[in-house]
Amino acid sequence: MSYPKIEGASLLARFLTPEVFDALKDRETYFGVRLEHLIASGIQNPDSAIGVYAGDEESYEVFAPLLDPIIAAYHGFGPEDRHASDLDPAHLEVENPDPEGRFVLSTRIRVARNLCCFPFGPVIDRRERRMAERAIVRALSTLPGELAGEYQPLSAMDEATKKQLVEAHLLFKAEDRFLEAGGFNRDWPDARGVFMNKARTFLVWLNEEDQLRIISMERGADLKSVFSRLARALKLLEARLTFAYSERLGYLTSCPTNLGTAMRASVHIRLPHLAEDEVKAIARAHGLQVRGTHGEHTEAEGGVYDVSNKRRLGVTEVEAITQLAKGVQALIQAAG
Ligand code: ADP
Ligand code: CIR
């Protein structure tokens, strides 16, 4: 492979210098992950913000000369830093930022997880993906009470149901071009699916960008309730599954933006009387990110924004949610 021409302003384009390329071009991890796997998405999608995906846990060591600068640029997390987790809801001291329900439609907290010692989406094969699905579904089937639910494989779902679930924010979209280029969508829809509890407040997405996306969501802005449900589920699942984890980088995910807590805590907030630039400026000042009404790479519709923590590594879960609560308070104050 010769030094590729990388269009655009992604972190990949910034950090894959000819020197870094030369140092990494012949490296390979135990699962066969090579530099080509990491950079395919960023090369095929010049509008990428990041442009890379890790193919397995070991990628973060073997390709550190490329990934460490990307991690530092996105999270402000240097090679000497160590991640720490705090998933104890008793430590979360935040009030509901919108108790009267004037602005916040819903709150969602998701974490990404992958199984320890398994390849990630870019190189996992059909058999391994099915093994992961089986292990995860088995663990999910033991969840009690409010968390108990059913697994629906994507292969058994009709198009109308899929569409309805995606529109209700309960299911991932298919055909994401960033994931497609990264090799994640091979064998689609085999071994993909969604687990949902009865109330649809607890969900797990299987084998999309990560092997698990564990999601707690409900109407309103009760961050503590949403976090408590998530923490309860995680404790039960961690007793049955071993997740990919590093002492330095926390939970390991295919996209470097998700490392550490692997958590995105978001609200859907309706702010029709604030200009979009103002929403973005206030969010940015509070370390928050703004997405559209249907998630990443979508636009805000009807003044409804998805506002979430940007940084996921080098902050605890409790800190990131506290940061979200403060930013939401500021947005509500600005909206009057
Ligand atoms: P991620 O899984 O990284 O959060 P997306 O940005 O694609 O990925 O969001 C996934 C889905 O979750 C989308 O349908 C999005 O609209 C939905 N979503 C995000 N935050 C909320 C929220 N607070 N309430 C309801 N749905 C949400
Ligand atoms: C990009 O580089 O823009 C895409 N690969 C998405 C990056 C954000 N990561 C994510 O949603 N996990």
> For 190-202, what is each residue's pLDDT tens digit?
999 999 999 999 9
Is residue 257 annotated as a catalytic residue, yes or no?
A: yes
CB 149 within 8 A of CB 143: yes
Tell me the three-class secondary structure of the chain, residue by residue.
CCCCCCCCCCHHHHHCCHHHHHHHCCCCCCCCCCHHHHHHHHHHCCCCCCCCCCCCCCHHHHCHHHHHHHHHHHHCCCCCCCCCCCCCHHHCCCCCCCCCCCCEEEEEEEEEECECCCCCCCCCCHHHHHHHHHHHHHHHCCCCHHHCEEEEEHHHCCHHHHHHHHHCCCCCCCCCHHHHHHCCCCCCCCCCEEEEECCCCEEEEECCCCCEEEEEEEECCCHHHHHHHHHHHHHHHHCCCCECEECCCEECCCCHHHCECCEEEEEEEECCCCCHHHHHHHHHHCCEEEEECCECCCCCECCEEEEEECCCCCCCHHHHHHHHHHHHHHHHHHHC
Given a cut of 90, whether residue 130 has pLDDT beyond it is yes
> For 288-305, what is each residue's pLDDT tens digit?
999 999 998 899 999 999
CA distance 70 to 230: 29
CA 105 to chain centre: 21
Candidate list 29, 253, 257, 261, residue with the active-site label = 257
User: Which of these, 265, 292, 249, lies nearest to 84 by C-alpha position?
Assistant: 249
Query: Domain coordinates of the chain in residue numbers?
Result: 11-75, 89-335
Ligand 2-lining residues (CB < 6 angstroms) = 10, 41, 48-51, 178, 209, 255, 257-258, 296
Mutate to test the pocket of ligand 2, among 38, 53, 211, 257 (most ligand atoms within 8 A of CB): 257
pLDDT of residue 235: 98
CA-proximal residue: ligand 1, atom 17 (nearest): 169
**Per-residue pLDDT band at 129 (split at 50, 70, 90):** very high
Candidate list 232, 291, 311, 312, residue with the active-site label = 291
pLDDT of residue 232: 98
For the domain with range 11-75, which CATH number is right: 1.10.135.10, 3.55.10.10, 2.40.110.10, 3.10.450.50? 1.10.135.10
CB 190 within 8 A of CB 130: yes
Is residue 209 annotated as a catalytic residue, yes or no?
A: yes
CA distance 268 to 303: 10
Q: Looking up tokens 């990494």, which residue turns up?
A: 24
**Per-residue pLDDT band at 1 (split at 50, 70, 90):** confident
pLDDT of residue 175: 87
Q: What is the number of the ligand closest to the CA of 174?
A: 1
The rounded Å distance from CA 53 to ligand 2 centre is: 9
11-75 and 89-335 in the same fold: no
The rounded Å distance from CA 41 to ligand 2 centre is: 9
Does the global pTM surpass 0.75? yes
Mean pLDDT of the chain: 97
Q: Decide yes or no: CATH 3.30.365.10 for domain 89-335.
A: no
> For 146-191, what is each residue's pLDDT tens digit?
999 999 999 999 999 999 999 999 999 988 999 999 999 999 999 9
> Looking at this protein, which amino acid is placed at residue 69?
P
Is residue 264 annotated as a catalytic residue, yes or no?
A: yes
User: Which of these, 117, 78, 62, lies nearest to 252 by C-alpha position?
Assistant: 117
Ligand 1-lining residues (CB < 6 angstroms) = 106-108, 110, 169, 213, 217, 264, 266-268, 291, 294-296, 306
> For ligand 2, what atom is nearest to the CA of residue 253?
12
Q: Which residues contact 174 (CB under 8 A, 6 or more apart)?
A: 162, 185, 188, 189
pLDDT of residue 331: 98
Is residue 107 annotated as a catalytic residue, yes or no?
A: no
Candidate list 34, 108, 110, 312, residue with the active-site label = 110
Q: What is the number of the ligand closest to the CA of 290?
A: 1
> For 237-277, what is each residue's pLDDT tens digit?
999 999 999 999 999 999 999 999 999 999 999 999 999 99
Given a cut of 90, whether residue 336 has pLDDT beyond it is no
The phi-psi region of residue 110 (left if phi > 0; otherwise alpha if psi is between -120 and 50; otherwise beta) is beta
CA-proximal residue: ligand 2, atom 7 (nearest): 50
User: Which of these, 1, 3, 75, 12, lies nearest to 45 by C-alpha position?
Assistant: 12
> For 213-224, what is each residue's pLDDT tens digit?
999 999 999 999
* Cα–Cα separations (whole angstroms), residue 205 to 151, 152, 211, 299, 318: 9, 10, 8, 23, 23
